[in-house]
Structure 1
Amino acid sequence: MRVLCLLAVVLLISKDHKCFGISHPKPACRYPPSQWCRSLEIAIECKVQKQCMELSAIKPNQTVPPVALTLYYESLCPDCRAFITQQLFPTWTMLQDIMSLTLVPYGNAKEVLSANGPFSCQHGEPECRGNMIEACIIHLTGTSLAFQIIYCMESASNVLNAAEPCLQMYAPSMSWATVDACVTGRLGYELMHGYAVMTRALNPAHTHVPWVTFDGEYTEDNEARAMSSLFHLVCELYKGVKPPACTGAPVRLSTSGCLKE
């Protein structure tokens, strides 16, 4: 969550100074920053209960459904890569509290029966492998962590070569062998077949990628706006109280600043 990342930054920079009136968590804290506010017990152990309470106060109303964005794309499509790196990932980083994300790495691929494999991709066999790698990563790690890995891959000059180091960076506990077994095994095929079914079921049928739907619906207007300013579109589509990131409202976790020692 974006607010937890903010909390982590605030706490980590205060390691050597008394910043914002809080002290750095004890090294004995066993939990990563993403879990600090998961429960009261964890917050107490990591000495961030006050900050977690403050952050909870600025979260959007959880009873209002998030904006459901689904991206149909393919791993080596230049326009898909640009949308992921320049629009979707920055927007998701700031607004993931009010949006849900579904990634469908299939795009203009086709299911075929040939000696080269069960799928044919617009940018050749490397793209089919890239799609499969990303599908397996999504399945094995969950969308939130997978999107960070996929962003890392799509930002690189060579998507396929970046897959293993990006996995090691964001999911060090998962071995590349596990992902490769998915890609080369039955599971990878089943995941891609599921994405093929999802893509074929689009109404209207997709004519290009990236293809973006909001709450299950596609409109040319929303797509055009998403390609130019996705952040503002998500803020507009959210029906609840707008978070500070949308309104530009200032958010202060405390007022004491960094005290000179």
Structure 2
Amino acid sequence: MMSFLLAAVFLISTDHRSFGLSHPKPACRYPPSQWCRSLEIAIECKVQKQCMELGAIKPNQTVPRVALTLYYETLCPDCRSFITKQLFPTWTMLQDIMSLTLVPYGNAKETLSANSPFTCQHGEPECRGNMIQACIIHLTETSLAFQIIHCMESASNVLNAAEPCLQLYAPSVSWATVDACVTGRLGYRLMHDYAVMTRALNPAHTHVPWVTFNGEYTEENEAKAASSLFHLVCELYKGVKPPACTGAPVKLSKSGCLME
């Protein structure tokens, strides 16, 4: 079906003489069925515009995505601002060329106390918030987890928003399941794993949010991420840039409410 649509679009968009009876010259070495297989092929075959209009092209996934890891804590104002103003909009637009790992631990510390094995910069509520988000990440796939976490971090009260945000984006996951994780051994194990990940940072983190790209931290990338994460991800991606990065226009179909 896609090859038929592409062939039709290509024929319509080709300049025909003799009332459309001439045959279009082959545009590339790929058959029509593969023209929208990737952005690279679409460009070579000169059908990028048509493929974009069909919403059929995506970046070449043989090129590694930009691996972004965010080390943060749930009640840190700067972390909340980065998630809502930089990370979520960038991920929404560029998730085809980036992978995301969230580590909700931040400046917490692991202790030997059986009653309270973790202490957090913003107190016990933050430890609970960190664990709630750790459990949500564990219980849902990345896309859903990040939408729930963004919903929480956007709210005036992060903890109070946890249950309604979960119900909104992952209604199949019960709050009782999340709560059992938070209050049980699983939650502590997840937090311990995040503690290990955070302690292994080289260089060691000195603040949050702390962002690494492809496993590396640099002050230059941190500064760029704080001002325009979107442009930084586009810059770091080694493949052919997607239309969102290049500013390529996408023709939208004309529609509207007609007068009766």
Q: TM-score scaled to structure 2, two decimals?
A: 0.77
For 1:16-27, list aligned pairs within 5 A. Answer: none
Find the aligned partners of 1:116 and 1:78 in 2 and give their Cα distance.
Answer: 27
Find the aligned partners of 2:101 and 2:114 in 1 and give their Cα distance.
Answer: 31
Find the aligned partners of 2:171 and 2:141 in 1 and give their Cα distance.
Answer: 15
Could you list the per-position Cα deviations for residues 125-167 of structure 1 after superposition, in whole angstroms to 9, with x for gaps in the alignment?
0000000000000000021100000000000111000000100
For 1:18-97, list aligned pairs within 5 A. Answer: 54-57=54-57, 59-97=58-96
Larger radius of gyration: 2
Is 2:163 aligned against 1:174? no
Q: TM-score scaled to structure 1, two decimals?
A: 0.77
1:13 aligns with none
Partner amino acid for 2:91? W
Is 2:135 aligned against 1:136? yes
Structure 1 residue 252 displacement after superposition = 2.8
Could you list the per-position Cα deviations for residues 37-61 of structure 1 after superposition, in whole angstroms to 9, with x for gaps in the alignment?
xxxxxxxxxxxxxx9992222x111
Is 2:247 aligned against 1:252? no
Partner amino acid for 1:79? D
For 1:168-247, list aligned pairs within 5 A. Answer: 168-247=167-246
Partner amino acid for 1:117? S
Find the aligned partners of 1:55 and 1:193 in 2 and give their Cα distance.
Answer: 42
Partner amino acid for 1:166? C
Find the aligned partners of 2:256 and 2:156 in 1 and give their Cα distance.
Answer: 40
2:109 aligns with 110
The percentage of counterpart residues that share the same residue type is 85
Find the aligned partners of 1:64 and 1:257 in 2 and give their Cα distance.
Answer: 37
Q: Which runs of 5+ in 2 are unaligned?
A: 1-50
Structure 1 residue 174 displacement after superposition = 1.1
User: SS at the partner of 1:251?
Assistant: coil
How many residue pairs were aligned? 210
User: SS at the partner of 2:248?
Assistant: coil
**Contact 2:203/2:217 (8 A) holds in 1:** yes
User: SS at the partner of 1:103?
Assistant: strand
Structure 1 residue 116 displacement after superposition = 4.4
Change in CA separation of 1:90 and 1:168 when aligned onto 2, cut-off 3 Å: same
Could you list the per-position Cα deviations for residues 46-94 of structure 1 after superposition, in whole angstroms to 9, with x for gaps in the alignment?
xxxxx9992222x111111110000000000010000000000000001
User: SS at the partner of 2:165?
Assistant: helix
Find the aligned partners of 1:157 and 1:117 in 2 and give their Cα distance.
Answer: 26
User: Structure 1 segments of 4 or more deviating over 3 A?
Assistant: 255-261
Q: Which runs of 5+ in 1 are unaligned?
A: 1-50
Find the aligned partners of 2:77 and 2:255 in 1 and give their Cα distance.
Answer: 44
Find the aligned partners of 1:251 and 1:226 in 2 and give their Cα distance.
Answer: 26
User: SS at the partner of 2:208?
Assistant: coil
Change in CA separation of 1:128 and 1:242 when aligned onto 2, cut-off 3 Å: same
1:119 aligns with 118
| Higher RCO (CA < 8 A, seq sep 6+) | 1
- Pairwise CA RMSD: 1.9
User: SS at the partner of 2:144?
Assistant: helix
2:23 aligns with none
User: SS at the partner of 1:104?
Assistant: strand
Partner amino acid for 2:241? K
